[in-house]
Structure 1
Amino acid sequence: MARIVRFHQLGGPEVLRIEDVAIAPPARGEVQIRIKALGLNRAEALMRSGTYIERPALPSGLGLEAAGLVETIGEGVGDFAPGDAVSIVPPISMARWPAYAELATFPAELVVKHPPALAFKEAAAVWMQYLTAYGALIDIAQLGRGEFVVITAASSSVGLAAIQIANGIGAIPIAVTRTSAKAQALRDAGAAHVIASAEEDLQSRLEQVAGPDGVRVVLDPVGGPIFVPLTAAMAHGGILIEYGGLSPEPTPFPLFTVLSKSLILRGYRVHEIVQDPARLAAAKAFILDGLADGALKPIIARTFPFEEIVEAHRYLESNAQFGKIVVTV
């Protein structure tokens, strides 16, 4: 038996329950892990509330990121041994492979031996944020040295990861946040420029920063009305990569701006990288190198104990965090 987090109905954080459940041994090609820390993601709150792309059968587990020690390996797994310190690449289905547990099982190809210098709480905060940012900026947009990149929701874990990746390759990150409350923290985290979209004219400020040529690459998880000023400030042939839909307002399609500038508006999910072995291998190498040389370092907003998973989800939905929320097990 092991404690896991499940929900029996859709709803707010209060539907989460810690339950004792019998855990099956790992199947062929799987690795079972004694979890030490969990990384929380917005996707988990969406799934819990019934608004995620995955609709689980109830009761359902939850969770996309974890770090811990290998407990048992399934048949056919040769790269791991009990006691190895590992972290988890987000699975395609968190209902099938939920991470919120004392003991959890994952496909071996999604298990990574993380750098020894990385604490478990940091290791649990690596893969979702850095894979998402890498896939968008490096794999798809091919962001280059000296280029501006606009990063909205910049104080999120993915936003901060994107700032670090941009700086690591010599690009120039422009952080967009709603108010100026987190502006100094974003500068301290590496943002070359910070724009408070609720306090400043976003288009004018972007044009002021980037100049007449505009910005080629935009990374956005928000959608909604912000599409209009973002696209207006983009360069001819630019690409806006949309990886979320946080805005409760409709997202306009700026038709004539897109036509006149030949813009690419590109939907993106981290699963693109996870499901492609070659792209995932390249991403792992890039991220592990960045962690090893210090260019990439997870920023932890706050840590909660496993018993306070409901409170951790409430904090996740408060939007008060700067970086990743971690739960220790």
Structure 2
Amino acid sequence: MARAVLLERLGGPEVLELRDVDLGEPGPGEVRISVDAIGLNRAEAWFRAGMYYVQPSFPEARIGYEAAGAVQAVGPSVEGLKTGDAVSTVPGFHLSDYGVYGDATVVPAASVLHRPDTVDTITGASLWLSYLTGYGALAEVCGVRPGDTVVVTAASSSVGLAAIQIANRLGAVPIATTRTRAKKQRLLDAGAAHVVVTEEDDLLARVQELTGGHGAEVAFDAVGGPGMNELARAVAPGGTLLSYGFQNGFPDFLPFPAFPYDLNIRIYSVLGLARDQERLRRAERFIHAGLRSGALAPVIDRVFDLTDIVEAHHHLESDTQFGKIIVTTAH
């Protein structure tokens, strides 16, 4: 038997229930993993509340994208993985089909990566959604080059902090945004070249000042909502506004006749990269090289025990965290 976090209904963190389950054997193309650490993501809170683009499969839905541990069993037709291999999962599946919250899980083998000996389980559970999102958006979609300016919104999130590190590794200049001054110095310490405090600063004016009036080549946005219009105006002619999340809802974009220049608007989902084995391997090499050099290093906010999953989700929704929230299991 394994312990797994299940959902029987939509709602707040209290709907998460830790139960004993029989996972059974992995099916064709699947592996069963003994889980040591789990990385939490805002998408999972939206899924739990019924606000995500896929819905839980009741009566006993699983939840969770990221885990690190070791392979327990391998299903038919799986190649390249064997019992005992140290691994991490990547977000290449729908939460309506699989979930990793628990001390063991069954997931598609295509969504499992080998974890080097130098990567511990907490690091292994904190990497892949954040760094694949940042790498895929900045390096692959936007083609960020040395000297480019990248505005990163919601910069104290795990994805935002990963994007700051990736921008620096690509030779770009990351400008972080944050709502209040509380996290400003920590963002500078985390590698942001500049920080815009949106409750105090005029975002457009500040980006124009920092870029000599040119604007940013890329705006990497998790927030959406009405502020996306102002963010669009901070992008340089021919630059890209890339959205990977809509925390404040979908925006009403400016009427195009009123917009003074070309603007590329992209909607990005990490799922596409995670399901493309060639792009995934390219990202894996980039991220592992960054870990070895020290250029990339996940920022861990807090570590909870699996039995405290409800408290962990309350913290996830508090907007006070700085970096990744991790849940560990005890075997």
Q: TM-score, normalised by structure 1?
A: 0.97
Amino acid at match of 1:117: T
Residue range with higher mean Cα deviation, 313-322 or 218-227: 218-227
- CA distance in 2 between counterparts of 1:17 and 1:41 reads 18
Q: How does 1:40-55 map to 2 (within 5 A)?
A: 40-55=40-55
Can you give the 5+ residue segments of structure 1 that lack an aligned partner in the other structure? Answer: none
The answer (yes or no) to whether the contact 1:258–1:264 under 8 Å persists in 2 is: no
Shift, 1:92, TM fit: 2.2
| Secondary structure at the counterpart of residue 136 of structure 1 | helix
Whether 1:211 and 2:212 are equivalent positions in the alignment is yes
Amino acid at match of 2:211: A
The answer (yes or no) to whether the contact 2:90–2:129 under 8 Å persists in 1 is: yes
Residue range with higher mean Cα deviation, 239-248 or 36-45: 239-248
Shift, 1:230, TM fit: 1.2
Tell me what 2:224 maps to: 223
Whether 1:261 and 2:261 are equivalent positions in the alignment is yes
Tell me what 1:155 maps to: 156
Tell me what 2:306 maps to: 306
Tell me what 2:290 maps to: 290
Amino acid at match of 1:198: E
What count of residue pairs does the alignment treat as equivalent? 328
Q: Deviations over 1:168-202 (max 9, x none)?
A: 11110000011111000000100000000111111
Tell me what 1:87 maps to: 88
The answer (yes or no) to whether the contact 2:93–2:111 under 8 Å persists in 1 is: no
The answer (yes or no) to whether the contact 1:91–1:97 under 8 Å persists in 2 is: no
Shift, 1:302, TM fit: 0.3
The answer (yes or no) to whether the contact 2:134–2:159 under 8 Å persists in 1 is: yes
Tell me what 2:271 maps to: 271
| Secondary structure at the counterpart of residue 327 of structure 1 | strand
- CA distance in 2 between counterparts of 1:3 and 1:38 reads 13
Tell me what 1:6 maps to: 6
Whether 1:188 and 2:189 are equivalent positions in the alignment is yes
Can you give the 5+ residue segments of structure 2 that lack an aligned partner in the other structure? Answer: none
Residue range with higher mean Cα deviation, 76-85 or 44-53: 76-85
The answer (yes or no) to whether the contact 1:306–1:328 under 8 Å persists in 2 is: yes
Identity of aligned residues (%): 47
Amino acid at match of 1:105: V
The answer (yes or no) to whether the contact 1:243–1:267 under 8 Å persists in 2 is: yes
- CA distance in 2 between counterparts of 1:196 and 1:84 reads 44
Shift, 1:284, TM fit: 1.5
| Secondary structure at the counterpart of residue 207 of structure 1 | helix
**How has the CA–CA distance of structure 1 residues 150 and 39 changed in structure 2, closer, same or farther, with 3 Å as cutoff?**
same
Residue range with higher mean Cα deviation, 90-99 or 33-42: 90-99
Structure 1 segments of 4 or more deviating over 3 A?
A: 256-259
Residue range with higher mean Cα deviation, 139-148 or 289-298: 289-298
Tell me what 2:57 maps to: 57
- CA distance in 2 between counterparts of 1:98 and 1:326 reads 15
| Secondary structure at the counterpart of residue 4 of structure 1 | strand
The answer (yes or no) to whether the contact 1:232–1:257 under 8 Å persists in 2 is: no
Q: How does 1:90-239 map to 2 (within 5 A)?
A: 90-239=91-240
Q: Deviations over 1:105-164 (max 9, x none)?
A: 122121111221222111100000000011110110000101100000000000000000
- CA distance in 2 between counterparts of 1:258 and 1:127 reads 39
| Secondary structure at the counterpart of residue 318 of structure 1 | coil
